[in-house]
Chain A
Amino acid sequence: MSQQADSSLGDPAGPLVLGTTVGLRTKDLLGIGDLSSEEILLILDTAEAMKEVGTRPIKKVPALRGRTVVNLFFEPSTRTRMSFEIAEKRLSADTLNMTASGLSVVKGETLVDTVRNLGAMAPDLIIVRHASAGAGHVVARLCSAGVINAGDGMHEHPTQALLDALTIRQHKGRFDGLKVSIIGDLLHSRVFRSNLLLLQKLGADVCACAPTTLMLSGMNRFGVRSTTSVDEAVDGADVIMLLRIQLERMRGHFIPSLREYFQRFGMTTDRLRLAKPDVIIMHPGPLNRGVEIASEVADGPYSVILEQVANGVAVRMAVLYLLAGGHQG
């Protein structure tokens, strides 16, 4: 079997297995679209082991000692950036933080030039967040370092989907046949795209719910049930994932007002009655209380929002660890 698992012989979609070692098939993590379900489960299992490091009196292991990780954030971020930085520090990597305001981009340097110069300083891993879809791919092509996409425009945010999956697995123990309803600004959401890809790879039954103006076109192609009725989405749901109304990405009028959105789509205790009794409520943050979620739900007994944040560190440690081995060939 170990012979079979050799990279060239085994299941082409499976993770790279050589003897007692494992790895992802790519040097980068740019999107869930590139991962097989086996690779996703490998990341989740590794994250489960990483979680324990955070419970120790000394929350630091020497695994990435001497490795340099650059956090390149062209867009504002609280959770993701802090989470990556904590993950890097817990693995003993040397970290460098660069945010758009502190970079020469404000002096007119292009992304390509910034990354070429950065590449010349030979970091081992680069974490990129950028407002343009595909920015991570550009960075990955330009340098030999491993690249982790921490959100590219309206495209993907793979580590968010992975931490969501870890949270779901911890509560439900499975994905197959699980009814997951994702409600909110689907059109502008990279979190939605990554979650949709991941949940479908693992066999969940995804229901997408948004006002018509915030729905993606061609949803049927993905094999997703879509609805504009919150009650229909909540009915029998095992997991409800709420997404933020991203006013900063909206060019034009998508919703009449935030207040009206809350009236029709906001998650309230009352609306939750139709869900399964053990439903969990998720939100990738930042929360807009009183828009997509009522405070009583965000702080209520079904909410696992802060567990998502805690799992984020473990998932990012797992991805950093698996990618730090680099890529063969």
Chain B
Amino acid sequence: MVAEQLARTVIRMAHEIVERHHSLESLALIGVRTRGVPIAKRLSVALEKISGTSVPTGALDITLYRDDLMRYPVGPQPILRKTEIEFSIDDRRILLVDDVLYTGRTIRAALDALIDFGRPRSIELLVLVDRGHRELPIKADYVGKNVPTSLRESVQVRLMETEGQDEVVIEEDEPAS
């Protein structure tokens, strides 16, 4: 997926969100660190253009909720980044945003984390790419592109905000050395 397609996908998903929600008043977008955050911000801009409503965005770091955090007795820890949700999520309709949906474990952690912030009226999930291979019963409500992959491949989402360019590519994993 190149920059132009990625931009169109974001706009299409913004239209889908508007289509499904009667009002965007109680909606808030929460991006999962790292790449869910810029995608959420882009969606918010698109939503404002379409509907005129400004939708707040937040950033969620799920590191402390990972299910593999203490599985291995030794080794370095995942880098912890800041969670920034500057509004109350109580009674809001939350749209969780991430780049790639794979095993579903990140989203499981994100759901647990969100519940610690309050009791939203509902939580929906939007992903740029769904690559399959779920290990948990989790399904996205909005999908940018379904990309069937093999387990040996990895899906790389690169964004202007994080990598300096917009693209989605499938890479063959190098055999473990």
Chain A interface (Cβ < 8 Å from any Cβ of B): 16-18, 20-23, 45-46, 48-50, 52-53, 56-58, 60-67, 91, 318, 321-322, 324-328
Contact = CB atoms under 8 A, between A and B. Distances in A.
Interface residues of B, number: 23
Contacts of B65: 61-63
B164 interface: no
26 contacts: A20-B78, A20-B79, A22-B76, A23-B75, A23-B76, A23-B77, A45-B80, A46-B80, A49-B81, A49-B82, A52-B82, A53-B64, A57-B116, A57-B117, A60-B116, A61-B64, A62-B112, A63-B64, A63-B70, A64-B70, A67-B70, A91-B64, A321-B64, A324-B70, A325-B77, A328-B75
B28 to A, nearest CB: 16
B61 interface: yes
A45 B63 CA distance: 14
Given A57-B116, A57-B118, A66-B70, A18 B76 contact: yes
B50 interface: no
B74 interface: yes
A311 to B, nearest CB: 15
Contacts of A16: 76
Contacts of B73: 326
Nearest to A16: B76
A61 B112 CA distance: 10
Contact of B77 (A21, A48, A56, A58): A21
A277 B80 CA distance: 35
Nearest to B90: A57
Given A22-B77, A66-B70, A318-B80, 13 more contacts: A18-B75, A20-B79, A22-B76, A22-B78, A23-B75, A48-B82, A50-B80, A63-B64, A63-B65, A321-B80, A324-B70, A325-B76, A326-B73
B83 interface: yes
Contacts of B78: 20-22
Contact of A322 (B69, B70, B77, B84): B77
A61 B84 CA distance: 15
Contacts of B69: 63
Nearest to B89: A57
Contacts of A328: 74-76
B83 A52 contact: yes
3 closest A-B pairs (Cβ-Cβ)? A23-B76, A326-B74, A61-B64
B58 to A, nearest CB: 11
Contact of B74 (A56, A60, A322, A327): A327
B95 to A, nearest CB: 20
A327 B75 CA distance: 6
